[in-house]
Structure 1
Amino acid sequence: MTTAEVAQDHYRDRQAIAAAVAAEAAEAWRELNPGDLDAWDLPAAQLAVVLTGAQQQAASAADDYVDTALSEQGAEPSPAGRVDPRRFAGVASDGRPLEGLLRSPVVATKLALARGTTVPRALATGQATLDMMVRTQVADAGRAADGVAVAARPSTGYVRMLQGKSCSRCAILAGRYYRWSAGFWRHPRCDCIHVPARGEQAARSEGLVSDPKEFFNSLSPAEQAQLFTKAGAQAIRDGADMNQVVNARRGAAGLSKPGGRLTREEQRMLRGGRDRGELARTDVFGQQVFTTTEGTTTRGLAGQRMREQGARTTRESGETVTRRARGGDVQRTVNRRRVQAPRLMPESIYELADSRDDAIRLLKRFGYII
């Protein structure tokens, strides 16, 4: 059995645990009286006990998984300690008690009703929120335990492995070797897993290290557009760097930044009731375009490229200068300052470009092609 196969088996076992809890949660939600949503407090408390057990079960497999994966690489490291699965159970990923987290589906349902959604659709929204939460909490507990097991073994790091079609942000993180101390970024319903490896060379020999572009090329054009957006996928096909295209969306106007402590319901309210973030146009010198702040600092690749390419403009600002004119010196206020032009998103680059060559020129200018 290869290391990758060990990882796949580990993933399927964890998915089975999450699916069992999700099924129990769905059954409890179906029994909820739509006329008395606050009655969910009792089922939520009972479900928190079940979810706690599932988290502990998922975390309990970490040591055996890491040991088995490393043994397939011919390594038998002596761990500094073993994982205590109890420490990964009973608490949500953001640190709050599970009972508090499990009340969120009712909040989502009430918000949907307040927006005029029908009762069946509002309840479906609550159930989808509940399903996402329980599956994510099981996966996060297991991942956190896997990470600790990796850290407990000397000279051991990990490779992030995609599961299924995944998403654009996971795609650019996967297939690389990470040190034991590297954080494992994830999102709700993220299916990515750690694959332990004794150094980058061992990871390469096991075929674990890969190029995210290979994942992109394995997708059909429709799948590429679905995961990376139509404009983003076209930019990548035109030679843009995947990291630049995907990371630009972190600072895109209208999209919430990852890693915040806002709940799903709070984020939805900030987005005007939308379940997903949407790009928003901003006014740039009278033209409505998509922009992003990501990477535009003096240290950012895009910011450096934009300055190199002369992507600056002059605006009026309040500086008084003196110039010589016929009849003597004349003072006037020119209000001039240098400002950084905004970084265009690929969507607006394709709108503005006159040709493919022009689009590629702009993709280079704004740091998407390096």
Structure 2
Amino acid sequence: MPQTVPSDVAKHYERVQSYQRDALSVALAAWGEVAPGAISETWEPLLPTVTVAVTSAQISAAESSLVSYRDMAVKTGQYRLPRAFVDPDSVAGESSDGGDLEAALYVPAIRAKQAISAGAAPAPAMRAVQSEFRMLVGSLVADSGRKAATALNATRFTGGYVRMLNPPSCSRCAILAGRWFRWNDGFQRHPQCDCVHIPAKSGDWARDEGFVSDPYEYFESLSEADQARLFGKSNARAIRDGADIFQVENAKRGMAIDGQTTTASTSRRGIYRGRGARLTPDAIYRTAGTRTNALKMLEEYGYVLPGGQDPQGVIRGQREGFGQMGRGGTRVGARWAVEEARRTGVRHPMSRATMTAAERRRFDAGARWDAVREGRNPYGAGPLTDQIRAQVERDYEITVLSLYR
């Protein structure tokens, strides 16, 4: 049966493709300024600009992955409160295998220099590198979204995930489409792969929802020309003649899984700066053994933030008058709190009356999140729905943890 693509996943595909295009436009514009006779000398000064553009796209792809994963979990009745929060920054600023991003973006320059040294004309060699940029930048951005989803699997206790295609898809992805994987199984991918995770509590559940696909139906939905293009002419003919699609594909080279370690310092908030090599999310899952250990290691290596109140507390600021809560001093309790804070020089950390507007937003977001964690509706006496839980979670991430900015 054909695989059903949820609307949230389709929107995620579209967003990631737009981020890839934005980053690629910057990379190609910079590459257009490189002098064929001095490739290293002219490309190296442009690398920081390209690196920033790719890093920004990676963060956006990671954020999109996390949002679409959560929204789909709500719509399919699989929402669970997170044990911790994935930091989108933590999977950006590095190559797909966890290495240095600038080094990865320098590789096309090496390819151009090698081609010219081998006798290729400079202009065609420089143009040929553009294809490599398209593949490289596309993979760098998409892989960040997948890494974020991989880290998310340990924070939300669904059983696992289903691999979702974005047709037209290559033969390697087609035979894995719709397959259910446990939460700690690494995501196999190849350059330019655009498949994604979607939450699925079990293989049977995924099948009932239409998320599991038949690779033969996908193959037969293609024209013979597309079958030959995606599977290879001889392989496509063999499958049409009755060969096992899995055996045919597995006879070719398999796909890679994310690398083991990275030395990149990625977080804007400095969560993992200067601490040496760290395991990637996939490597953590291969070594952790249990979800508890995996979550602990994800926090240790800077991929997720704690799930409770912000340990830094609220920001202390200056104020005059009786504040928004005091209504010019007519509210006795608020007026007393302000006057007491002025007299003693100390503000009670739980008094909303003496907080700035920004502090109060952080305080209220934290209080609502605590209510949700305790099973209470923070907005009143009505039922606590998954939609409310997800809304409060999102507000907490933005207001208290400063994510998605």
Sort the TM-score into its range (normalised by shorter chain).
0.5 to 0.7
Q: Are the aligned partners of 1:112 and 1:125 in contact in 2 as well (CA < 8 Å)?
A: no
Q: 12-21 vs 60-69, which deviates more?
A: 60-69
Give CA deviations for 1:79-127 in whole Å, capped at 9, x if unaligned.
2211111110111112221111111111111122123222221001222
Give the distance between the partners of 1:82 and 1:260, measured in 2 at CA: 21
Give the distance between the partners of 2:229 and 2:137, measured in 1 at CA: 25
Residue pairs, 1:39-78, within 5 angstroms? 39-78=42-81
1:128 corresponds to which residue? Answer: 131
Q: Are the aligned partners of 2:162 and 2:211 in contact in 1 as well (CA < 8 Å)?
A: yes
- How far residue 62 of structure 1 moved from its aligned partner, in angstroms, is 3.2
- How far residue 164 of structure 1 moved from its aligned partner, in angstroms, is 2.2
Give the distance between the partners of 2:258 and 2:157, measured in 1 at CA: 32
CA RMSD of superposed structures (Å): 1.9
> Residue 226 of structure 1: SS of its match in structure 2?
helix
Q: Are the aligned partners of 1:25 and 1:131 in contact in 2 as well (CA < 8 Å)?
A: no
Taking a change above 3 Å as real, the CA distance of residues 151 and 3 of structure 1, as seen in their structure-2 partners, is: farther
Give the distance between the partners of 1:156 and 1:67, measured in 2 at CA: 15
**2:111 maps to 1:108:** yes
Give the distance between the partners of 1:51 and 1:22, measured in 2 at CA: 8
**2:234 maps to 1:200:** no
Q: 1:235 aligns with which of 218, 238, 247?
A: 238
Amino acid at match of 2:229: Q
Q: Are the aligned partners of 2:97 and 2:258 in contact in 1 as well (CA < 8 Å)?
A: no
Taking a change above 3 Å as real, the CA distance of residues 259 and 67 of structure 1, as seen in their structure-2 partners, is: closer
Q: 2:120 aligns with which of 113, 117, 121?
A: 117
Q: 5-14 vs 145-154, which deviates more?
A: 145-154
Q: 1:94 aligns with which of 89, 93, 97?
A: 97
Residue pairs, 1:152-163, within 5 angstroms? 152-163=155-166
Residue pairs, 1:1-370, within 5 angstroms? 4-38=6-40, 39-250=42-253
Give CA deviations for 1:204-225 in whole Å, capped at 9, x if unaligned.
2321111111111111111111
Q: TM-score, normalised by structure 1?
A: 0.65
> Residue 92 of structure 1: SS of its match in structure 2?
coil
Give CA deviations for 1:225-273 in whole Å, capped at 9, x if unaligned.
122112211211122111110111228xxxxx85698xxxxxxxxxxxx
Q: Are the aligned partners of 1:66 and 1:150 in contact in 2 as well (CA < 8 Å)?
A: no
Q: Are the aligned partners of 1:163 and 1:191 in contact in 2 as well (CA < 8 Å)?
A: yes
Q: TM-score, normalised by structure 2?
A: 0.60
Taking a change above 3 Å as real, the CA distance of residues 114 and 250 of structure 1, as seen in their structure-2 partners, is: same
Work out which structure has the larger RCO, using CA pairs closer than 8 Å and 6 or more positions apart in sequence: 2
Q: Could you tell me which runs of 5 or more consecutive residues in structure 1 were left unpaired when the two chains were aligned.
A: 252-256, 262-370
Which has the larger helix fraction? Answer: 2
Taking a change above 3 Å as real, the CA distance of residues 223 and 151 of structure 1, as seen in their structure-2 partners, is: same
Give the distance between the partners of 1:260 and 1:223, measured in 2 at CA: 29
Give the distance between the partners of 2:73 and 2:258, measured in 1 at CA: 34
Give the distance between the partners of 2:153 and 2:68, measured in 1 at CA: 10
- How far residue 160 of structure 1 moved from its aligned partner, in angstroms, is 1.0
